[in-house]
Amino acid sequence: MLRSMFSQKKRIDEGLLLETMQAIEAYRAFIRKQKDQGRTSRPYSLDRLELHIHGFERALDELEQSKYACEQSGAAIGGKRNLEEMNASEWDHYRRHVYFYKNAFIRVFSILDKLGHIMNQVLDLKTERVKSRFSYFTVLRQMHDKKTLPELETRLYQLKNNHQEALSKLRSQRNMEIHSLNAEMADDVKNAGSSDDDGLTPVENIKANMNDLSSCYEMVCRTLLLTFTFLKSKRIC
């Protein structure tokens, strides 16, 4: 959808994205099979679970599109490092870069937290007894503490650690964006306090933004791929 903004053809899924989408759909098909066989003794609806799993396909698609639009918009700025150096067109591209960057990092943690709630449900972790409003990372700690599926927990924890630096940066920015009364004002204050000696206003470090976002995007894909492949292989739903 967003590729049309840059006169590009519709995306063809491939590589890690394709593998992840296939893993989500395979787990969804497994749930449907359980429903068809009448295995409904769980304390939750398999219809609702299937709907939630299907939602991961849409969410991952939207994350990838936001990442793409963020990258393309940033590339159109031509390496300008200060607002005053930009013409009107570059300024528009820069604003789009920032918009899609924020949109993407919010989706990173939205997907992870939704996955955490699914894992808490199907693995009966009862994380809500530890923390009423819990995140994916809380669920991961709960898996470790309860020694639930250690072969899965260990690999998920390693994935988190492999991308910890980028996750920490985006998590901090997400918290500012979500919880600050005026995140844009905070950005203005930050920029005002970091002007160059010549009085020019520095812009976002686009290369660093994309490195962090790409790292977290990969972490999300690999986490979903690993989790849904494992749950299906163990026939857990």
* Confidence band of 6 (pLDDT split at 50, 70, 90): low
* The model's pTM: 0.89
Separation of alpha carbons 96 and 209, rounded Å: 13
- The mean pLDDT value for 98-118 works out to 96
Give pLDDT tens digits for 17-26. Answer: 999 999 999 9
SS3 content of the chain, % helix, strand, coil (to 5): 75, 0, 25
Classify 77 as helix, strand or coil.
Answer: coil
DSSP state for residue 2 in the 8-state scheme? G
Give pLDDT tens digits for 171-197. Answer: 999 988 887 655 454 555 455 445 555
Q: For all residues of the chain together, what is the average pLDDT?
A: 89
Classify 171 as helix, strand or coil.
Answer: helix
* Confidence band of 111 (pLDDT split at 50, 70, 90): very high
* Confidence band of 83 (pLDDT split at 50, 70, 90): confident
- Those residues with Cβ within 8 angstroms of residue 68's Cβ, 6 or more apart along the chain or in another chain: 2, 3, 11
Return the number of other C-beta atoms located less than 10 Å from residue 32's C-beta: 14
Q: Which two tokens stand for residue 142?
A: 């709960």
pLDDT greater than 90 at residue 5: no
Separation of alpha carbons 142 and 124, rounded Å: 11
Name the phi and psi angles at 78, rounded to 5.
Answer: 75, 30
Strand partners, 82: 202
Among residues of the chain, what percentage have pLDDT more than 70? 87
